[in-house]
Structure 1
Amino acid sequence: MAVYGYARVSTVSQARDGESLEAQTRQMSAYAASRGLDLPPDNVFVEAGVSGGVEFQCRPEGGRLYGLLQPGDLIVFPKLDRAFRNTRNALNVLHELRERKVHVHFIDLGGDVTGNGIGAIVFTILSAFATFEKERIATRIREVKQMKKAQGKFTGGRRAFGYEVVDSVKVPKPDEQAIIAEMRALRTGGASYRDIGSWLGEQRKLTFSPMGVRHILNEAR
């Protein structure tokens, strides 16, 4: 029987600083020792800078570990959210590993979640909560971006035509605003978005698709 450990951090800064990875590795080593298990350093797979939203088998180290596992092997995870942030993937992987007779231990869940019914129930419930937490964080990020946008702040991506970014705030760019005013006048006069795009190319040496023209005029309202 081989014993493996798996640690993961989702951001580049966490991977660079290494604190979280070292803490997870120490935790798994201590857990293995307390259970009389031999967890060699070479058997600890470290996933650095990979989101938990990526399915376990699709991660570089997760996929490599998944392919190595044999019947009777054991994996130690420090926490549920280090392994999964997606309930469907979590349950599918757990089911497949159980079928392959691989034991899965989560330290934060008290140990083996494949060897008894109670552990599997707890795993199912907490996997759902992990997914909920991920969705809640994503919603919060969207709300913050919407609030910043309403305040006229730059939220990332390409600079909008007609504006420049000064100290993270969108500020009107006079020369481009003048062009937008001409575009608006053409539109009011009955020109199509395609016509305005052609005019921009011929008169202002700017290339915009009809949809791009529409976006500029809508954003400039």
Structure 2
Amino acid sequence: MQTILYARVSTQDQTSIHQKAQAEKAGFKIDRVVADEGVSGVSVAFADRPEARRLFDMLRPGDVLVVRWVDRLGRNYDDVTNTIRSLMAQGIIVRTVINNFTFDGSTKDPVQKAVRDSLIAFMAATAQAQAEATKEAQKAGIAHAKGQEGKYLGRKPSYDRQTFNAVLDALQGSATVSEIARTHNLSRQAVLRIRDNTEQVEAALAKWS
């Protein structure tokens, strides 16, 4: 049995090295890392990604596929749920680093299956909702930045867009504000601003980009 970490890395997201370190810190023993670099989880389905396709040939029944969170599989509800169900049907166990969820297709108990499937659906819906919210925040930030062209830019944020996106992802998990602040070397106030004033922070980043 092997444990493979799948990392999807967009141009403004975390690196595969970072995701592997995060998994190992959480107690996973990773045998191999498979990563799709510069791939959008919104517009590119899991089965259409070059490295993701290799996983279906590499994985065997009983193997464990680890992802940082389900958004690494995709940010589309149907794509994520279909992918996890397809993997479970092949006897693959899917585990997440954030929240430490396990999706195993071997259970026969109807109640356990119902709980598992409901959780998969909820997480997939959350991944899509987060992607849509981020996209709207980016559009609002760009529009605001254009409207402020030639005006005082205000104070430059103490973090870049990669950190901003990483904090947004972390806020979807179980980590506390203090834990996220320590992980990304930010103040609690900075994390709270990202959480509570996402559009304004996005606008500030767009103005200074």
Letter in 2 for 1:5: L
Aligned position for 2:36: 47
Shift, 1:45, TM fit:
0.8
Tell me, in whole angstroms, the C-alpha distance in 1 between the residues paired with 2:58 and 2:94.
Answer: 14
2:88–2:103 Cα contact (<8 Å) kept: no
User: Cα deviation per residue 1:113-151 (whole Å; 9 max; x = unaligned)?
Assistant: 2355334322211210110111112222333344455x3
Alpha carbons of structure 1 residues 109 and 124: separation in structure 2 relative to 1, 3 Å = farther
What amino acid is aligned across from residue 143 of structure 1 in structure 2? Answer: A
Please state how far the C-alpha of 1:30 moved relative to its aligned partner.
4.3
* SS in structure 2 at match of 1:45: strand
Match of 2:68 in 1: 78
The AA in structure 1 aligned to 2:76 is N
**Cα 1:89/1:139, change in 2 over 3 Å:** same
Map 1:105-116 → 2, pairs under 5 A: 105-115=95-105, 116=112
Residues 1-221 of structure 1: pairs in structure 2 closer than 5 A: 1-11=1-11, 20-31=15-26, 33=28, 39-40=30-31, 43-53=32-42, 54-115=44-105, 116-117=112-113, 118-148=115-145, 151=147
Are the equivalent residues in 1 in contact too, given 2:77–2:124 (CA < 8 A)? Answer: yes
TM-score, length-scaled by structure 1: 0.55
State, as a whole percentage, how many aligned pairs show the same letter: 27
* 1:88, distance to aligned residue in structure 2 (A): 0.5
CA distance in 1, matches of 2:101, 2:126: 19
Structure 2 Cα separation of the partners of residues 123 and 44 of structure 1: 23
Question: Is the deviation greater in 20-29 or in 88-97?
Answer: 20-29
Which residue of the partner structure matches residue 193 of structure 2?
A: none
Alpha-carbon shift at residue 84 of structure 1 (Å): 1.8
1:85 partner SS: coil
Higher relative contact order (CA 8 A, sep 6+): 2
Aligned length: 143
Paired residues of 1:109 and 1:123 also in contact (CA < 8 A): no
Q: CA deviation at 1:27?
A: 2.6
What runs of 5+ residues in structure 1 fail to find an aligned partner?
154-165, 167-221
Q: Calculate the TM-score normalised by the size of structure 2.
A: 0.58
Q: Distance in 1 between matches of 2:20 and 2:94?
A: 16
**1:65 deviation in Å?**
1.4
Give the alignment's Cα RMSD to 1 decimal. 2.7
Separation in structure 2 between the aligned mates of residue 143 and residue 30 of structure 1, nearest angstrom? 36
Amino acid at match of 2:30: L
- Secondary structure of the corresponding residue to residue 131 of structure 1: helix
Q: Structure 2: where are the runs of 5+ without partners?
A: 106-111, 151-209
